[in-house]
Every structure is written in C-alpha cells, then in structure tokens.
Amino acid sequence: MAKIKFLNLQVTDVKLKVDTFDQYSTDEIESGPFNIDCQFSETESKLFGISFEINLKNKNQDFELRVKAIAHFECDENINQEFMQSDFVFINAPAIAFPYLRAFISNITLNSGYNPVILPAFNFVAMANAIKDRSKSSSTNEPVTDKKLESRQNS
C-alpha cells in the first residue's frame, strides 16, 4: 500500500449569513446536506483530494453557514484504480481531514462573535457503507446524514 501524506485543507468557499445579534444563535445548529467527494489529479499522478461541503442552519433560520473545502493528499506512488476504490479514499482520508474542517468551522463562528459550532465526531465507515448500499439499490439522492449539532456553551 502506498504511503500517504496530508498536505493541507484549502477552504474554497464560505458563506456566513446572520440576521440576528444573538451570540447564542449557534447553540442549536442543524446540518443540511454534508457532501464528501474524491478528486484525482489528471496532471499529477500522485495527488488526490477529498472535497467537503457542509451547510449549517439554526432552528430560527437566522444563522446560516456554508463551507466548501478540499483536503489535499500526496502518495509516494502513482495512484492506480485499486487505490481509487480503496477504503483509504472513502474512509481514512476524510477522517484525517475532517478535524481541520471542524476546527475551521469552530474558529470562524467564534471569531465572528458567536458561540463556536463544534461539529460532532463523524463515522466515515458508516457513511461509506451507506454510499455503497445506496449505489447498489440506486435509491434517491437523500443526504447521507442529517445530524443535530450543538455548540459549546459559554459558562
């Protein structure tokens, strides 16, 4: 198996829309679609990326945050078809990159004057299994997860 190196998380799009001055508006955040996709470089045979898109809103619909980001990885060998379909791409690489996305979201909400949104731990194994099951049954395009998120309360 190839050795993998996490290079960075690059945020490509951020939308923060807030229609309230209430710093607690982030206390009960609900996640909309949380999309993850794999991208392989056509020009660099050792590079690949994991793209994330997450949409967060509160119950009152007066706080919305959308973030798109790409985690960049490098292999020590050329990427082949076997690697492209491996668990590393669908489970391990997203699990490595997710804490960086999680920290970004916490920091942007905190630095914007609101209680930080702390994304919960995410089960990438279950997500990968759901994607495999969905592709077998060719069902609807419902999001893999819709989790209620809670931010850390200031004491």
Q: Which domains does the chain have, with CATH numbers?
A: 4-136 (3.10.420.10)
pLDDT of residue 87: 86
Which pLDDT value is given to residue 142? Answer: 42
pLDDT the model gives residue 10: 97
**What is the structure's pLDDT at 69?**
97
Tell me how crowded residue 3 is: count the other CB atoms within 10 A of its CB.
8
| Calpha distance 32→142 (Å, rounded) | 10
Full-model pTM: 0.79
Q: Could you list the mean pLDDT of each consecutive 10-residue stretch along the chain, which spans 155 residues?
A: 89 92 78 85 91 91 92 93 88 94 95 90 83 58 37 33
User: What is the reported pLDDT for 131?
Assistant: 67
Structure tokens, 135: 């592709």
Other residues' Cβ atoms within 10 Å of the Cβ of residue 121: 9
Angstrom distance (rounded) from CA 68 to CA 18: 18
In angstroms and rounded to an integer, the radius of gyration of the C-alpha atoms of the chain is 17
